[in-house]
Amino acid sequence: MTDIVDELQWRGLLALSTDEDALRKAFADGPLTFYCGFDPTAPSLHLGNLVQILTMRRIQLAGNLPLGLVGGATGLIGDPKPNAERTLNAPETVALWVERLRGQIERFLDFEGPYAARMVNNLDWTSGLSAIDFLRDIGKYFRVNKMIAKEAVSRRLNSDAGISYTEFSYQILQGMDFMQLNRRYGCTLQTGGSDQWGNLTAGTDLIHRVEPEASVHALATPLITKADGTKFGKTESGTVWLDAELTTPYAFYQFWLNADDRDVSKFLRIFSFKSREEIEELERQTEERPQARTAQRALAEELTTLVHGADQCAAVIAASKALFGQGDLGELDEATLAAALSELPHAKVDALGPVVDLLAEVGLVASKSAARRTVKEGGAYVNNVKVAAEDAVPAADELLHGRWLVLRRGKKNLAAIEVVSA
């Protein structure tokens, strides 16, 4: 691999660093032990977290030792949100989420060999710490004027919500994490998102105050933006999660497949482990033949395989093809088919009726008369079979898994019918 700092810069993953030249030297003198923290404020990580996990993986592949921190302590508080106080979750819930997030992170790192990763939990060094010890041993090194100047804090101070002492203290806890990891494992680098820069530098500042000669670093990735102005990692149905129960592998695949041509190059560099040459070739194909969506397909396949496994990715691709007549819908397993159909316009009916009624019911045509014209012109399909007669009524044995029909008008307009009491 090329110099890891150069690699991160080429991929658009280096927004801020405490001292780039010193960081380059630290990597060159390595191996370097580094960490990134993830708070269990939800039952799953999402695409924004995936940026950090994959950045950790890249740094590990360059010959460094990662520490994946899941914040059993900081997760009980949560870092300050931009506009409102967080709802505090029950300790039992946070403990459950710690294990779920830990399992998600572990899939992406290598825990064997000379650069083996290690998982840590900041509850280990905070649970037995008294308030007096915390204030005397840690709090005395923090200056309130600097804490107030941190972006996350100042933004809240200037909002109607204000900020509680609990969330105001979050940066002290994160700073203490870095100091503890530095002492326990020789950790000298913390990575995170640029929106966390104030919290990242809280750690370097604390270590420098306690041990002025220590050499420690912080590195931040940029906020990912989309060309159309919508928020990255969001769809009409909400956040794109890494948990298959919260975002199905099919929906996950479709998120990448539907990436804007203006964004796909950036997404490839940030998320893909393809080489520069492979990515530049995909960029060239996007520029020359954007309608083929070659780059989007490559990205969707790589990321779905990475997050959900090769079998799930193969099932998703099979479903995508079958929906458009390039495979047998009947061969799709129920879960994959259900996930695929949930992304389509759909309607529930009590009983099967004429195809023309179903086409109108689900909104594929404006009216029943339009549906009849579509059938007459040969443009109506049920489960990829062309409808031959205007009065055709699907049979009960045509229902996929006893529940669904896939309707299609023309080549690309799809919808689903679910019979709830057939």
* Binding site per annotation, positions for ATP: 234
For the chain, the helix, strand and coil percentages under 3-state DSSP, each to the nearest 5:
50, 15, 35
Question: Angle, to 10 degrees, between the axis of helix 334-342 and the axis of helix 249-257?
Answer: 50
Strands 217-221 and 189-193, bridge-based pairing: parallel
Question: Could you give the maximum distance between any two Cα atoms of the chain, in Å?
Answer: 84
From the annotation, which residues make up the binding site? 35, 170, 174, 234
Residues 224, 48 contacting (CB under 8 angstroms): yes
Please count the CA atoms within 13 angstroms of the CA of 233 that sit on its side-chain side. Answer: 14
Cα–Cα dist 306/302, whole Å: 6
Cα–Cα dist 108/38, whole Å: 14
CB atoms within 10 A of CB 344: 15
From the annotation, which residues make up the binding site for L-tyrosine? 35, 170, 174
Residues 247, 241 contacting (CB under 8 angstroms): yes
Helix (H) or strand (E) holding 30: none
Contacts of 412 (CB under 8 A, 6+ apart): 324
CB atoms within 10 A of CB 422: 12
